[in-house]
Chain A
């Protein structure tokens, strides 16, 4: 296996894991799930978790 092939596999796994982790972290923090930013979004509260709303 060439080094570039190892890099490719690692990069692919990293991308998938990073997207999943960031989605979970965002959800936990009560941030947007639509891919858009929450700053200045009038609809941010609709995406926020119940936990955050209570806090």
Chain B
């Protein structure tokens, strides 16, 4: 099958074009660096099927980050039949810089002028034919978003792929063209493919090229000794970059006729940026937006109207609608959707239980279906609307171009903690799922910054942890009568962020010391999010969540139900004897470990359920609430109800049965939020970090979650312990500051140095 590669600058619309050509639903976002690995699809509308490969965005073929290496290696080593170079037509000159480099490779090439509709809308005129004449490769106007010109692009690319193309350089006339020629001849003598491209890179003293061709690099170094350029001295890299831009300005820029505008007239994006990226208001505005998202998703007192509206302003009391809209009719959209699904699943559960009872099915079978299967799955499934709503809000912010701005405004603060603003993008992705977030750290050039970021990504609560936060916060509200439980959920998200910042600060001051790399990010223009794009994101998320609920979660809850209803002697136990089960035995064995966290040996006879829930969460975080859903119905059979209990009700029942306190419940949330993430995230971390660093990361997750959760429990239970923790943290921060100022050296705490010291002492 023929293979066409899509190459271009970050955020030029490659993935949108890839989706348009192949019918895929790959993730697209309005910020540079969404794609970090190549992906393939098939275009079927040509004379023969063509494999389309979407490459990560690159600014040049001199790569710095891992995903940029992927793009360069693919074009050079995999020898695609044609390279489709996508150019953001609204930013022609900068995008053509990469084109001048691809031109040097012996590969058929077509230029796709993307976002041509934006150019037309702005009143500018871009002459594709003129550009084609100057550059010497086909140029096609397209709009990947609107599907305009895609068939023509593929037809031209198909035609181009039939004729081999020799690379040519735009560096003719420069002072080093002869050196490039000599290097090319030397490389051709060594039978190197794409000799011209490699020769230019060699003259630039590109790190990869120097390693590959040390003999020819020596030739360049020798030439350097006798060479002096008037402007750039012996900086060949600068001479070449300058020559490329001169070529673009002279030959390509005339193809673009810009509309006459007032020189200082700000664009729409500039006007919005004046407010949203303001030096002082930028961060408070971001926090306010974040709060609004969580409020719309979790609040049972929408816009805090509860205090303003007179009691009984709407007559919902006693009606079915009260359960959906709340007694004051002011539930947020997220809570309304949650209640609706909860109502549907509860009714379905009750109907199935009723039908089974009427059919004379035995008690254990009803228990297996209602508690084991439906209880667990429904407990998780009922949170789907809130997960989707939160995900929708984040997608809107991402697609609009705002998230890229947040990375920019946070750079100043992140820098103080040892990270660049670029690290914000994978972190914010962590709110959706840790797996892609960890992979996205490949866009970070500094390895130590990357490791530190991967380690703290699970602290940004993913969608799977949302049921834990919401159900336990709801359970606290229901049992202890606390208002505004959405603030607990929001607070827990903030705790995750604060712990991540503190952890990074400590890591970057001790084991992960290093300079913070400069943060350069192209800010995309603001645009209204595409409805289709948003719906595709949501559909993808919903599909995978439901799939997970009916596979991994269902299987886990069945296993939990069985081992909670059989004794070590493999005898069936009714609900009342659940404390004698295998699961209870294992849970009780581990219970003492969690005593400092408040959900260990000190809570009632069913306290082991909390330990078991935390352990099952290591498979998938949804399992924590699924475990409550499965076991609550059995445990509370003698306390509250004899029906399947879901989500918040299940947690409330467990709180009632164990008499666990609020501090321990908060510690339970914190522990689950910060500890080892799910299997998938653990596997990804292992792949990204390597075995040695991965082992340290596991220890880091366990220690951090244990320490922070016990801190919450102790402060909640004995308020005066707050002074001890404040003193300890003050000491840590002082040490970090002194270390930064060079007054002390915290390197002695580095495990490597400690081990080396022990070895020396042993000798």
Contacts and interface: CB of A to CB of B under 8 A. Distances in A.
Interface of A: 2, 4-5, 8, 12, 15-16, 18-20, 22, 32-37, 39-47
Given A2-B362, A41-B26, A43-B439, A15 B680 contact: no
Contacts of B540: 36
Contacts of A40: 19, 22, 24-26, 39, 41
Contacts, number: 100
Contacts of B312: none
Given A4-B365, A42-B26, A46-B684, A35 B548 contact: yes
Contact of B368 (A8, A37, A39, A46): A8
Among all A-B residue pairs, the 8 with the closest Cβ atoms: A34-B680, A40-B24, A40-B26, A19-B555, A43-B439, A35-B548, A46-B439, A34-B435
Contact of A20 (B433, B435, B555, B681): B555
A16 B562 CA distance: 11
Contact of A45 (B37, B372, B433): B37
Contacts of B26: 40-42
10 contacts: A4-B365, A5-B361, A5-B365, A8-B369, A35-B548, A36-B433, A40-B26, A42-B34, A42-B37, A43-B684
Interface residues of B, number: 51
A43 B562 CA distance: 36
Contacts of B364: 5
Contacts of B149: none
A5 B679 CA distance: 33
Nearest to B684: A46
B322 interface: no
A8 B359 CA distance: 14
Nearest to A37: B544
Interface in B398-440: 433, 435-436, 438-440
Contacts of A20: 555
Given A19-B551, A35-B620, A42-B34, 7 more contacts: A15-B554, A33-B683, A34-B435, A35-B544, A40-B19, A42-B15, A46-B435
A44 B40 CA distance: 11
Give the interface centre of A5, A16, A35, A41 by most chain B CB atoms within 10 Å. Answer: A35
A40 B38 CA distance: 9
Interface in B207-245: none
Contacts of A36: 433, 435, 540, 544
B472 to A, nearest CB: 23
B27 interface: yes
A41 B26 CA distance: 6
Give the interface centre of B359, B362, B365 by most chain A CB atoms within 10 Å. Answer: B365
Given A5-B362, A40-B24, A33 B559 contact: no
B101 interface: no
B688 interface: yes
Contacts of A46: 37, 435, 438-439, 684, 687-688
Nearest to A5: B365
Interface string B112-156: 000000000000000000000000000000000000000000000
Contact of A34 (B368, B369, B373, B433): B433
Give the interface centre of A5, A36, A40 by most chain B CB atoms within 10 Å. Answer: A40
B697 to A, nearest CB: 15
Contacts of A39: 24, 41
Contact of A12 (B56, B439, B552, B558): B558
